[in-house]
């Protein structure tokens, strides 16, 4: 059983007590990829919070694109320097702004498609087919489908194309997760919390440990997957 913990999808920017959260991450040595929901938060968080256990991702949440179109140039300004990208993607829970989301995500993928160093954490709620279609088959970056909730058919397509999947405690408690686990290759599963959205009454550390233990009970060493992901 591995003693190492990590989190590939964590929202430091949405925690009220950032310093307390960072202290906890450092104390427990949790290697964390911290999402941003708006691109202008990226540089600020890199300078304030980037450290040994925290890597800041450059993101633009799909549900915010129509509200802040003036921030799109900021995303492109920092894109070359950022290795980790997220949270980005599509959310068709409300399709009224689908056009803006598709335009932005398509441009992002076009700009990143030949970058072997990029790791992209992707939101695909009610839009997994469109996400997969936009990414296509000709890409060199590493896609991670965060909290996947789509169909098994589309999941299999993503698996065939080499995607990673980051899973959290809430996912493991659904009936669909057992089906997903049968389809996803063992070396493509990663831990996430999506904290603070899945915090509930369980601590960050405990949430990761529960999911990690669950995967290890199925002979899945996700720590090795994480090391492979980041090239360590």
The per-residue pLDDT for range 54-64, each reduced to its tens digit, is: 999 999 999 99
Q: With bands split at pLDDT 50, 70 and 90, how would you rate the model's confidence at 202?
A: confident
CA distance 186 to 200: 28
The per-residue pLDDT for range 63-105, each reduced to its tens digit, is: 999 999 999 999 999 999 999 999 999 999 999 999 999 999 9
Give the range among 87-91, 109-113, 199-203 with minimum mean pLDDT. 199-203
**pLDDT (0 to 100) of residue 197:** 80
Question: What is the H or E stretch that residue 5 is in?
Answer: strand 5-10
**pLDDT (0 to 100) of residue 147:** 96
Q: Output helix, strand, coil percentages for the chain, rounded to the nearest 5.
A: 50, 15, 35
CB atoms within 10 A of CB 187: 13
pLDDT greater than 80 at residue 232: no
Residue 216 belongs to domain spanning: 5-230
pTM: 0.96
Instruction: Please state the domain count of the chain.
Output: 1
Helices (H), the chain: 18-27, 40-49, 72-79, 98-112, 128-135, 152-160, 169-172, 175-183, 204-217, 222-230
pLDDT greater than 60 at residue 125: yes
Q: With bands split at pLDDT 50, 70 and 90, how would you rate the model's confidence at 166?
A: very high
pLDDT greater than 90 at residue 201: no
Query: In b/e form, how buried is each residue of 135-171, taking b as 16+ CB within 10 angstroms?
Result: beeebebbbbbbbbebeeebbebbbeeebbbbbbbbb
**pLDDT (0 to 100) of residue 199:** 58
Share of the chain above pLDDT 90, in %: 89
CATH number for 30: 3.20.20.140
**pLDDT (0 to 100) of residue 107:** 98
> Which residues fall within 8 angstroms of residue 35, CB to CB, at 6 or more apart?
9, 10, 11, 12, 13, 57, 59, 86, 87, 121
Q: With bands split at pLDDT 50, 70 and 90, how would you rate the model's confidence at 51?
A: confident
**pLDDT (0 to 100) of residue 62:** 98
Phi, psi of 190 (to 5 degrees): -130, 160
CA distance 97 to 92: 8
């Amino acid at each position: 059983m591995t003693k190492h913990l990590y989190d590939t999808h964590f929202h430091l920017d949405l925690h009220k007590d950032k310093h307390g959260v960072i202290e906890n991450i450092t104390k427990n040595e949790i290697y964390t990829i911290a999402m941003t929901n708006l691109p202008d938060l990226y540089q600020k968080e890199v300078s304030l919070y980037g450290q040994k256990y925290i890597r800041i991702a450059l993101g633009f949440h799909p549900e915010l694109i129509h509200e802040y179109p003036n921030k799109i140039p900021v995303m492109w300004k920092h894109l070359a320097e950022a290795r980790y990208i997220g949270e980005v993607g599509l959310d068709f829970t409300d399709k009224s702004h689908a056009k803006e989301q598709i335009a932005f995500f398509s441009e992002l993928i076009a700009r990143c498609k030949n970058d072997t160093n990029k790791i992209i954490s992707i939101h695909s709620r009610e839009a997994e087919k469109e996400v997969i279609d936009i990414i296509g088959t000709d890409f060199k970056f590493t896609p991670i489908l965060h909290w996947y909730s789509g169909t098994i058919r589309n999941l299999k397509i993503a698996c065939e194309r080499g995607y990673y999947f980051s899973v959290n405690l809430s996912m493991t408690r659904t009936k669909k997760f057992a089906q997903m686990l049968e389809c996803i290759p063992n070396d493509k599963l990663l831990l996430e919390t999506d904290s603070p959205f899945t915090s509930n009454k369980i601590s960050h550390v405990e949430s990761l440990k529960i999911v990690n233990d669950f995967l290890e009970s199925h002979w899945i060493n996700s720590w090795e997957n994480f090391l492979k992901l980041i090239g360590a």
